[in-house]
Structure 1
Amino acid sequence: MKKTISIIGGGPTSLLLAAFLDVDKFDITIYEKNKTLGRKFLVAGKGGFNLTHSEPISDLIERYTPSNFLKNSLLSFTNNDFRKWLHDLGIPTYVGSSKRVYPEEHIKPITVLNTILNHLKNKGIHFKYNHVFSVWDTQNNLIINNEITYSDYTVFSLGGGSWKITGSDGAWLKTFEEKGIKTIPFKASNCAFKIDWNSKFIEDNEGIPLKNITISCANKQQKGEAVITRFGLEGNAIYGLSPQIRAQLKLHNKALIYIDFKPTFTLENVASKIKNSNFKNTTQILKKELKLSPSQITLLKTYLSKDSYLNAEIISKYIKKFPLEVNDLSILDEAISTVGGIDINAVDTNFQLHKIPNQFCLGEMLNWDAPTGGYLLQACASNGVFLAKYLNKID
């Protein structure tokens, strides 16, 4: 007789888990509180559908915080494995110039989602929509839609605390906390960071990207671009520094970041370009010799004294290490992802809850962090496949 598995939540982690579970061994049901599955999957696709990242798996693992927590999952189902699986389903992918992996250009996110759902339906996976988990009974059975649900194994994949429109609202956190499972409050990640700009500067430069820069915080650097917003800065050059910025905010209520406007030049190169230029006007030198953008030049003009701006040695240092103070994170629901949720020490190496045998937590509801660029989806997929392989081996 088959054993039963209840999967709570219908996001990417759940879909990959169900796809790799042995249907000859298990009767599998996905319970989703919305009318459809994969809503966050589709929302994520609107901003450029990064399925994964193509860098070597050893480098990819190090992108996560903490990296060791997800290592076994990522090795069990690598970025190359993910691409092969999608290809076998009829979803070919390609590597973009950023090394991110996308579906072939004619394939839309809804097509990817429907292909996966059709695969699950053909496997015999059951779907129950508008089904909401609320609490456990005294025997640790689930209460779903006010009725007891019995199953041999339960897998929670309830998402993080952002994108409420998709159903990922983090409302489940209190339920787990009251059960005695250690939780951590949600915080924004891969989000906008608050900077108190000079009023004249932001009036003239709101919405303008700072391209081809490197931003650093603490011991971490991130290349890319960042968009100047009225709130502060956002973009891939700062998203990857979320753990470092949050740590400084927690300790000091502020964080220092540094922008390198010319990461391909050394400090000596920058100073030489300025000192040896045939142009006499500093602004012209920065524009013509160093190819700085108008916004970068305006930043330097705004925040440096006139004497510092005109001093070749001083301005060179600021071009390579321009300081900005971050004062806050954006609100949770505006973040691309969140950290917090179930403390990673509340689960074992197979993601089973220590307090409730045969019940597991996966995906973004666990307290790990990842930058944008396909890393979030890859970790969720790997999480699901890892647990599927573990459950398939149980006698």
Structure 2
Amino acid sequence: MGARVRAPPLGRCRRVALGRAPGREEAAGYFWGVLPAATVAATAGAAPLVAVVGGGPAGLLAAQRLAEAGCRVQVFEQKATLGRKFLVAGHGGFNLTHSEALGPFATRYGAQAPFFAPVLAHFSPQELRRWAADLGIATFVGSSGRVFPEGQHKPADLLRAWLRRLVELGVETYPRHRWLGWAGAAGLRLLNEKTQQEFTVAPAATVLALGGASWPQTGSDGRWVPLLAELGAASMPFAPANCGAEVAWSAFFQEKVGRAPLKNVALSCNGHTVRGEILLTDYGLEGTPVYALTPQVRAALAAGRPAWLHLNLKPDLPLSELQQRLARRKPGASLASFLAESLKLKSPVPTLLRELTGPTPPDLAAALTALPVPVAGLRPLAEAISSAGGLGFAAVDAHLMLRQRPGTFVAGEMLDWEAPTGGYLLQGCFSTGAWAAAGVLAWLNSGEQVN
């Protein structure tokens, strides 16, 4: 260990005078600044320097919390702009979080629920809503329990307000700067991709928030895995999560159906059932129920077992009532006409039944309530909403600090967790960012950092 730095009082970094909020030209300097080819070090008597690598939700929230505590913060992002994955997350409806109580909320993270319980308590969905309101974006709870911005606000509106707040706090942001690896006990090697100049920074602490491996065009490309492996920090292989399922439809079905929704259905896999709307596509199935069952489908495929989704087309109709209606079918009546008149099941249901059961289903009631859909695979990782896999939790302590590199913390989708859509993914990123920031502050106040 090097010389110890005397820490400021517990819970805060030593605050330095940041002066007035920068003007537009000065703000642009923060977002497009270029660091000199020199080592930037934290020194006693000044605010501790914290480097945040990754400009997504987890990294930016960690940066905000640290700056509010008085730290000097530098954010390095390899893409040309910050928050690209955040903007993608808002496609199809800007669902910021969920109103579910914390207990059930934590269970949405599956095997990592014990870790997320205190993390969510530290930065809860209610706290996230207060944070958004403080940026001028009020929210409301929809009928599904999901939380959305009021006034037709888009992700870009919140991101702009957020970046303005970071400028006001003095956070320095450096787009087009890629992390190359380690430099000594506490330093980082970085590349300015615009000038192709390599340099190092030597912060008092680091937060890595580099994302998983879905939507790599936003910056979450998983290239950090070998850099952490150098330390002995093991990662689980990345796999698609919250993605479409591939079905080997016939050419006839692909041409006749194309893309068609099925509303108010229930989808099941290995004892798990999810209600909602799915979309038939030329390659398979999309939609919230499909995404929610990705872990079960992925597990079956990984084990070499057949993966089946079972589709209930009339989940609100009791089986006895369904059987009574089916018994009233007149001889000679076409299946399509009967389904439309008696059960309000119109196109593409008859074509779907024919595709999966043949021209005449041997058990029509079973076909309508548990239609077996064979899954050939999952859509590619690059187009998945999120990814499973990532840095194993054994590599970090309870504060998300790397066990093999004290002073370096990890947040967001880098970690090996997954959650369904509906606000749980963004909340997980925000909460782990806040948790990592709290860990940094505790570390800086422990006096154990290397000078």
TM over 0.5: yes
Spell out, residue by residue over 1:262-321, the C-alpha distance to the aligned partner (whole angstroms, 9 max, x if none). Answer: 111232222122224679724333222222231122212332245535xxxx21112111
Q: Judge which range, 86-95 or 137-146, deviates more.
A: 137-146
Matched, 1:144 2:190: yes
Contact 1:22 1:392 in 2 (8 A): no
* Pairwise CA distance, 1:53: 1.7
Closer/same/farther in 2, CA of residues 228 and 307 from structure 1, 3 Å limit: closer
Structure-1 separation of matches of 2:237 and 2:95: 27
Contact 2:67 2:73 in 1 (8 A): no
Q: 2:389 aligns with which of 315, 332, 340?
A: 340
* Pairwise CA distance, 1:22: 5.3
Contact 1:253 1:327 in 2 (8 A): no
Spell out, residue by residue over 1:51-78, the C-alpha distance to the aligned partner (whole angstroms, 9 max, x if none). Answer: 1122222222222232223222112112
Matches for 1:1-395 after TM superposition, within 5 Å: 1=45, 2-21=47-66, 23-66=68-111, 67-145=113-191, 146-252=198-304, 254-276=306-328, 281=333, 282-309=335-362, 314-394=363-443, 395=445
Root mean square deviation, CA, Å: 1.9
- SS state at 2:409 partner: strand
Partner letter of residue 265 of structure 2?
A: I
* Pairwise CA distance, 1:378: 0.9
Q: Judge which range, 172-181 or 224-233, deviates more.
A: 172-181
Counting matched residue pairs gives 391
Structure-2 separation of matches of 1:77 and 1:23: 15
Partner letter of residue 391 of structure 2?
A: I
Larger Rg: 2
Spell out, residue by residue over 1:321-357, the C-alpha distance to the aligned partner (whole angstroms, 9 max, x if none). Answer: 1111111111111111111121122112211111111
Partner letter of residue 71 of structure 2?
A: F
Structure 1 unpaired stretches of 5+: none
Structure-2 separation of matches of 1:142 and 1:5: 11
Structure-1 separation of matches of 2:339 and 2:103: 39
Structure-2 separation of matches of 1:75 and 1:32: 29
Structure-2 separation of matches of 1:93 and 1:270: 41
Contact 2:402 2:409 in 1 (8 A): yes
Partner letter of residue 65 of structure 2?
A: F
Structure-1 separation of matches of 2:357 and 2:81: 53
Closer/same/farther in 2, CA of residues 75 and 279 from structure 1, 3 Å limit: farther
Partner letter of residue 144 of structure 1?
A: L
Structure 2 length-normalised TM:
0.82
Contact 1:8 1:158 in 2 (8 A): yes
Structure-1 separation of matches of 2:126 and 2:410: 25
Q: Deviating runs (4+, > 6 A) in structure 1?
A: none
Partner letter of residue 191 of structure 1?
A: C
Contact 1:11 1:40 in 2 (8 A): yes
Contact 2:186 2:407 in 1 (8 A): no
Spell out, residue by residue over 1:163-192, the C-alpha distance to the aligned partner (whole angstroms, 9 max, x if none). Answer: 122112112222222332101221111112
Structure-2 separation of matches of 1:326 and 1:278: 34
Structure-2 separation of matches of 1:51 and 1:201: 37
- SS state at 1:81 partner: helix
* Pairwise CA distance, 1:138: 4.0
Closer/same/farther in 2, CA of residues 389 and 178 from structure 1, 3 Å limit: closer
Closer/same/farther in 2, CA of residues 307 and 91 from structure 1, 3 Å limit: closer
Q: Judge which range, 37-46 or 20-29, deviates more.
A: 20-29
